[in-house]
Amino acid sequence: MDYRRTYRAAAVSFADLVSRLPAQSWERPGVGAWSVRELVGHTTSSALRQVPRVLASPGGTVDLERPEHYWAYARSAPPELYAAATAASSADARETGLWLGDDAAARVGELAGQATAALAAVRDDDVIATAAGGMRVRDWIATRTFELVVHGMDLAAAGPVAADLPPNAVAEAVTLAARIAAAVGDGQTVLRALTGRAALPEGFSVV
User: Tens of pLDDT along 130-179?
Assistant: 999 999 999 999 999 999 999 999 999 999 999 889 999 999 999 999 99
Question: Which pLDDT band holds residue 1 (cuts at 50, 70, 90)?
Answer: low
Domain count within the chain: 1
Q: Is residue 205 part of a domain?
A: no
Say which DSSP state 32 is in: T
Q: Has residue 136 been placed in a domain?
A: yes
Average pLDDT, the chain: 95
CATH of the domain at 97: 1.20.120
Residue 206 domain flag: no
Range of the domain at 159: 3-194
Assess whether pLDDT exceeds 70 at residue 24.
yes
Q: Is residue 201 part of a domain?
A: no
200 occurs within a structural domain: no
Query: Mean per-residue pLDDT for 48-64?
Result: 96
Distance separating alpha carbons of residues 95 and 176, to the nearest angstrom: 29
Residue 129 DSSP SS3 = strand
Closest CA to 166 of 3, 55, 19, 37: 3
d(CA 56, CA 126): 10
